[in-house]
């Protein structure tokens, strides 16, 4: 594409601290949780119920030791033993329910976020995709949303469950033995303070690693798509060294995360063991002095042991929460971008009898992050059924003008009108059903030929498809292994460049749109095929408004009028001349010069007399 926008930073700045609280970004995803809140509540209750059932077993153990066992009452063992068995079965059932609700809720939330993210990507303008690395978007779509699923399906639930368990069991421990229970609570304060500091550090490290993973994904994608050029120039080593450098940086960032997590986990594992040792010493002394029964000590220690995993796992849960929070930040950075090409509401407009008129009204355009206009004060009226060719030097904005018609970009100032209606006032679906485009560098998708052809007209009949293939001289598709059902591979690379252009041209003319925008779509065709395609296009363009970017005299001859654009400059491109091909050949040296550069007449154009030059160029044009 000509006149590409200035390069902008594709990787957002990493925040030094979590913004607006530790879970600010995660809280913003609440609308995605709301449809599943019932399942989330049941999942939490199931997990909490399983924990509470596990807490009841030590209390039953206390009754067994201080009751039937201490008094040698064998008959009383059976009822208490039966209760222990029932509690065990209940705990297993509750675990199963938690897993069942988890799969339904967490996977549903993940699917909804991923769908919303993809839908939003489709709404964002071309300027956004020009400036963002595709690998960064892929890593957000896959890795980051997976992190959110793990958080909502596991970490969030057990943060609630473990917190509730700590409060309930801690209260029971204070009830059993006040001094030891208070020691447990007091010892948790420094652990919480340390956890918050390590948590913030882990957040920064997690965000840096996620951004670097996006850069690695971009390198892999570029290498895969450009593998032909890489191999042709023998630059596998160069590409590998770049990948290796980024991969080593990613490894270093991940190792930094692991060190922080290992320190966090070690502290959360050490503290409860030290507290347990202290409680055992205090309890043993109390039992030996008769201040505490053996059953009460066993119950206290057993209850405290049920807190070991909730306390130790908090290190991992906190790390997962911060990883999910930074993942949410990255996802929301895309979701928060407001498309500057907004879809208009469907409003009834009066249409002229002959649809297809295209008007540029004082159009100017400047790419984002650029201070130099590409187009300035461009005025052009293309009557319905008329074909106009855009001719000009490289970089003068020809491709940019064609992109303004289907609103791939919006004008900086001025208007583009279709049938007297500003394109910004037309719903995008209506506008793009009227305007079809074929570009010099066509994009085909990893799908069948038929699916690629009918992308713009899904309900096209077989007759329409065959007609479009005939116009584009793309009948070769019938010789493919499965004809129209043959898959063309990623980017259509199983086809040659000329074949891809012909399929893309057939896609554009399928359904006979009101306006056909052709951005030099025949550049990869041989002369023989090009002549046949141009002959067929003549019949198509008779009933269609055409805007054609032309670089060769043969393409110019498709047009009723030619617009010569001025060379690019600090004030932007404007119209240098307008007329028929023959008129401009006679009167405009700049036009003759541009056309001569595409023929063997460069020297002749410079050295010959105007009449001789004109006659030779006209002969080439014929």
- Domain residue spans of the chain: 24-335, 358-579, 581-622
Sheet holding 421-422, edge to edge: 375-382, 358-365, 413-418, 421-422
| C-alpha 138, offset from chain centre | 5
Weakest mean pLDDT among 86-95, 176-185, 523-532: 523-532
Does the pLDDT of residue 354 top 60, yes or no? Answer: no
Give residue 513's pLDDT.
84
Phi and psi dihedrals of 381, rounded to 5? Answer: -120, 125
Asked if residue 398 lies in contact with residue 389, where contact means CB atoms within 8 angstroms, the answer is: no
Q: What share of the chain is helix, strand, coil (3-state, %, to 5)?
A: 65, 10, 25
What is the per-residue DSSP string for 407-428? Answer: TSS--SEEEEEETTEEGGGS-H
Residues sharing a CB contact under 8 Å with residue 271, sequence separation 6 or more, in sequence order? 187, 188, 191, 311
pLDDT digits (tens, 9 = 90+) for 85-113: 777 777 778 777 777 777 778 888 989 99
Look at 349 and 595; give whichever has higher pLDDT: 595
Q: Average model confidence (pLDDT) for the chain?
A: 79
Nearest-angstrom CA–CA distance, 157 and 463: 57
Q: Provide CATH code, domain 24-335.
A: 1.20.1560.10
pLDDT digits (tens, 9 = 90+) for 428-476: 888 888 888 888 777 888 888 888 888 878 888 888 888 888 888 888 8
pLDDT interval class at 255 (50, 70, 90): very high
Beta-bridge partners for 364: 413
pLDDT digits (tens, 9 = 90+) for 475-520: 888 888 888 888 887 777 778 778 888 888 888 888 778 888 888 7
Look at 317 and 351; give whichever has higher pLDDT: 317
Give residue 8's pLDDT.
35
Region 353-374: what's the mean pLDDT? 83
Question: What is the third-level CATH fold of 358-579?
Answer: Rossmann fold (3.40.50)
Question: What's the token pair of residue 497?
Answer: 């460049």
- Which residue in the block uniquely carries the two structure tokens 């009066």? 350
- Residue 388, by phi and psi: left (phi above 0), alpha (psi -120 to 50) or beta? beta
The angle, 0 to 180 degrees and rounded to 10, between the axes of the packed helices 236-288 and 294-335 is: 150
Nearest-angstrom CA–CA distance, 388 and 575: 13
Among residues 175, 166, 185, 178, the alpha carbon closest in space to that of 59 is found at: 175
């Amino acid at each position: 594409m000509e006149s590409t926008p200035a390069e902008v930073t594709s990787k957002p700045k990493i925040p030094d601290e979590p913004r607006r609280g530790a879970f600010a970004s995660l809280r913003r995803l609440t609308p995605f949780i709301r449809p599943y809140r019932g399942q989330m509540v049941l999942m939490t209750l199931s997990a909490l119920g399983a924990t509470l059932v596990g807490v009841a077993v030590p209390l039953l153990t206390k009754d067994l030791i201080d009751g039937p066992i201490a008094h040698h009452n064998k008959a009383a063992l059976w009822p208490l033993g039966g209760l222990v068995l029932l509690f065990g079965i209940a705990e297993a059932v509750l675990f199963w329910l938690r897993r069942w609700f988890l799969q339904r809720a967490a996977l549903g939330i993940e699917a909804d976020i991923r769908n919303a993210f993809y839908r939003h990507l489709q709404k964002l303008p071309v300027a956004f995709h020009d400036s963002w690395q595709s690998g960064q978007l892929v890593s957000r779509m896959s890795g980051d949303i997976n992190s959110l699923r793990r958080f909502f399906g596991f970490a969030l639930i057990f943060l609630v469950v473990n917190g509730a368990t700590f409060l309930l069991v801690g209260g029971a421990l204070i009830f059993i033995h006040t001094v030891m229970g208070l020691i447990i609570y007091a010892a948790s304060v420094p652990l919480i303070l340390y956890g918050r500091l390590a948590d913030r550090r882990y957040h920064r490290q997690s965000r840096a690693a996620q951004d670097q993973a996006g850069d690695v994904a971009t390198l892999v994608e570029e290498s895969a798509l450009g593998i032909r050029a890489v191999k042709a120039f023998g630059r596998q080593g160069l590409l590998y060294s770049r990948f290796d450098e980024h991969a080593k940086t990613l490894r270093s960032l991940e190792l930094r995360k692991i060190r922080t997590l290992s320190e966090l986990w070690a502290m959360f594992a050490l503290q409860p063991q030290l507290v347990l040792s202290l409680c055992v010493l205090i309890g043993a002394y109390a039992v030996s002095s008769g201040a505490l029964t053996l059953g009460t000590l066993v119950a206290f220690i057993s209850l405290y042991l049920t807190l070991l995993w909730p306390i130790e796992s908090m290190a991992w849960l906190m790390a997962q929460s911060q990883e999910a929070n930074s993942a949410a930040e990255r996802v929301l950075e895309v979701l928060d971008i407001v498309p500057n090409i907004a879809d208009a509401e469907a409003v009834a407009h009066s249409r002229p009898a002959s649809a297809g008129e295209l008007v540029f009204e004082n159009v100017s355009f400047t790419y984002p992050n650029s201070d130099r206009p590409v187009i300035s004060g461009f005025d052009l009226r293309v009557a319905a059924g008329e074909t106009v060719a855009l001719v000009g030097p490289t970089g003068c904005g020809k491709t940019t003008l064609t992109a303004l018609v289907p609103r791939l970009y919006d004008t900086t100032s001025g208007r583009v009108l279709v049938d007297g209606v500003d394109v910004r006032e037309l719903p995008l679906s209506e506008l793009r059903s009227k305007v079809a485009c074929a570009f010099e560098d066509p994009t085909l998708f990893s799908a069948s030929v038929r699916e690629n052809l009918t992308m713009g007209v899904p309900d096209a009949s077989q007759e329409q498809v065959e007609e479009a293939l005939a116009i584009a001289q793309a009948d070769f598709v019938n010789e493919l292994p499965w004809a129209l059902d043959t898959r063309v591979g990623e980017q259509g690379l199983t086809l040659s460049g000329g074949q891809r252009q012909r399929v893309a041209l057939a896609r554009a003319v399928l359904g006979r749109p009101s306006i056909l925008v052709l951005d030099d779509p025949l550049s990869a065709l041989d002369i023989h095929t090009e002549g046949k395609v141009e002959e067929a296009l003549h019949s198509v363009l008779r009933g269609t408004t055409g805007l054609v970017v032309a670089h060769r005299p043969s393409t110019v001859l498709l047009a009723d009028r030619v617009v010569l654009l001025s060379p690019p400059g600090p004030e932007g491109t404007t119209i240098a001349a307008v007329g028929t091909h023959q008129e401009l050949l006679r009167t405009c040296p700049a036009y003759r010069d541009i056309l001569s550069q595409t023929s063997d007449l460069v020297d002749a154009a410079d050295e010959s007399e105007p009449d001789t030059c004109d006659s030779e160029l006209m002969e080439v044009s014929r």
